[in-house]
Amino acid sequence: MLDIESPGSDGAAAKPAYTAIDELYAEEDAYPLHTVAETIFPGWEYKKRGIKGVFETYAQHEYPHVAKVNQWGTYAQRILRRETKKGVTNPLEALIRKMHMARTVTTPFRSCYELSMGSMEYEIPLYRDESDGNKLRQLPCLSHLSFKLFQDKVHLTAIYRSHDYRHKVVGNLLGLARLQACVAHEVGVGIGGMVIHSTYAWVEGRKSRFKQLLSEVSKIVEEAEGNIKGASNDVA
């Protein structure tokens, strides 16, 4: 289980840490961080064209190209388009709309979020019975997203059925943080915490190289935090 206190901030060590991680991924012919993040949420599209670009440009024009090389699609498409008996719906758009409505409610129903009362939750299931039911592998690893609106902040909990801690976790966190930031921005509130539950977590490949990467990133973070602390002392 991972608890990220400030998913809305990369931190001072972000740029060199990203570089170190992407260098390992390049060595092992794995997708870079940004590519993994984009499978969860089209952050580039949101930054370029806003929420309309996410709802229209990505879903209608960009995703068809992704689908040609990806058997089950992306998480992004699953949270943007869902076929129902009543037609095609947009789960993310509905979630944002409901959170807007919740902010106008004067009755202080606060404990419902904490107690997981279904009528007040904002959930996005990723698994699809019709397309995923008969598959034994290559199913979505991200199973569920649960958003909570509490104290004028959007909090996010993600549940993974299987989680690759070597090649996917960091990119997943980046994509989820971008999604959380989008929802918070569109609702007009702050960004709260993020919690990741990995019901099965694994690391494949050379453990020594992976440990080396963790050591490199730890040093980068320590140096960045030391520089911040030194700058604060100088100001004081």
Span 89-96, average pLDDT: 86
Amino acid code (one letter) for 17: A
Residue with tokens 């170190």: 20
pLDDT at 72 over 60: no
pLDDT, residue 145, reads 87
* pLDDT tier for residue 126 given thresholds of 50, 70 and 90: low
**Tokens standing for 117?**
């009362």
Distance (Å, whole) CA 90 – CA 74: 15
* Each residue's pLDDT tens digit, 21-53: 999 999 999 999 999 999 899 999 999 999 998
Of residues 226 and 187, more confidently modeled: 187
Positive or negative torsion for Cα 42, 46, 51, 52: negative
pLDDT, residue 120, reads 39
Cα–Cα nearest to 151, from 186, 102, 117: 102
Instruction: Fold for 2-225, please state it.
Output: Thymidylate Synthase; Chain A (3.30.572)
Q: Outline where DSSP puts E strands in 38-141.
A: 82-84, 87-89, 122-125
pLDDT at 80 over 60: yes
139 in Cβ contact with 127 (< 8 Å): yes
Distance (Å, whole) CA 164 – CA 202: 5
Kindly state the DSSP code that residue 59 receives in the 8-state scheme.
I
Q: What is the chain's mean pLDDT, rounded?
A: 80
Span 80-108, average pLDDT: 78
pLDDT, residue 29, reads 93
SS3 assignment, position 143? strand
Q: Buried (b) or exposed (e) across 43-68, using 16+ Cβ within 10 A?
A: bbbbeeeebebbbebbbeebbeebee
Altogether, the residues listed in the chain come to a count of 236
Q: State pTM to two decimals.
A: 0.82
Of residues 57 and 125, more confidently modeled: 57
Distance (Å, whole) CA 154 – CA 80: 19
pLDDT at 106 over 50: yes
What is the percent of the chain with per-residue pLDDT over 90, rounded to a whole number?
40
Q: How far is CA 23 from CA 55, 192, 217, 222, in A?
A: 33, 31, 12, 20
Contacts 24+ apart (CB under 8 A), 104-110: 110/150
Distance (Å, whole) CA 114 – CA 7: 20
pLDDT, residue 168, reads 93
Positive or negative torsion for Cα 11, 13, 16, 19: negative
Amino acid code (one letter) for 27: E
